[in-house]
C-alpha cells in the first residue's frame, strides 16, 4: 500500500429486518485505524450496509485511493456488476455522489470467516444494532 492508500472495512447489522440497525466502518491508513459506527431505530440490513460505506467514504479525503472491503453482495454487486437498484434510492444517490471521480475499488469478503477488518466492522455494527433506540 502506498501512503495514500486506504482500506475501509464495512458492515451492517439489524435486529429483525426491518428493525433496530447498526453500521460499522474501520478505516485503515498508514498503519493506523479509525473506527466509526452508528445506529438507526428502524431500518434494514441493506440500508446499514450502504450507510457503513457512505460514512467511511465521507471520513476520508476525496483524493485518496480507497478499497472498500465488504461482505455485502448487495453493495459490491450493485457497484461492480450493475445489479438493479430496486430500493434505497436515497442511499444509492449519496453513494454515487461520493464515489464520483474518486479512485475507489471494491472487494467482497466472506462474512464471519476470520477476515480481521470485517470481523471488527461486524462487531461495531452488531453492538450498535443492539443499542439502537
| Distance in angstroms (rounded) separating the CA atoms of residues 17 and 47 | 10
Domains and CATH numbers, the chain: 5-131 (3.30.420.10)
Tell me if 124 sits within 8 A of 13, measured CB to CB.
Answer: no
> Of 28, 40, 49, 128, which is the active-site residue?
49
Q: What is the DSSP letter of 13?
A: E
| Distance in angstroms (rounded) separating the CA atoms of residues 26 and 35 | 5
Cα 127 off chain centre by: 15
Tell me if 67 sits within 8 A of 102, measured CB to CB.
Answer: no
Active-site residue flag, 89: no
Active-site residue flag, 61: no
Active-site residue flag, 49: yes
pLDDT tens, residue order, the chain (133 aa) = 444 599 999 999 999 999 999 999 999 998 999 999 999 999 999 999 999 999 999 999 999 999 999 999 999 999 999 888 999 999 999 999 999 989 999 999 998 888 999 999 999 999 999 887 7
Distances (CA, A) of 81 to 14, 49, 78, 110: 25, 17, 6, 18
* pTM assigned to the model: 0.94
Active-site residue flag, 11: yes
Question: Quick one: which of 17, 24, 5 has its CA closest to 42?
Answer: 17
Amino acid at each position: 500500500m502506498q501512503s495514500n492508500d486506504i482500506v475501509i472495512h464495512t458492515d451492517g447489522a439489524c435486529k429483525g429486518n426491518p428493525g433496530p440497525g447498526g453500521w460499522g466502518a474501520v478505516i485503515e491508513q498508514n498503519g493506523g485505524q479509525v473506527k466509526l459506527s452508528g445506529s438507526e431505530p428502524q431500518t434494514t440490513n441493506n440500508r446499514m450496509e450502504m450507510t457503513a460505506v457512505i460514512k467511511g467514504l465521507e471520513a476520508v479525503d476525496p483524493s485518496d485511493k480507497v478499497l472498500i472491503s465488504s461482505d455485502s453482495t448487495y453493495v459490491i454487486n450493485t457497484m461492480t456488476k450493475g445489479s438493479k437498484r430496486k430500493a434505497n434510492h436515497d442511499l444509492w444517490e449519496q453513494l454515487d455522489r461520493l464515489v464520483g471521480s474518486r479512485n475507489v475499488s471494491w472487494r467482497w469478503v466472506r462474512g464471519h470467516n476470520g477476515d480481521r477488518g470485517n470481523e471488527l466492522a461486524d462487531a461495531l455494527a452488531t453492538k450498535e444494532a443492539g443499542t439502537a433506540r
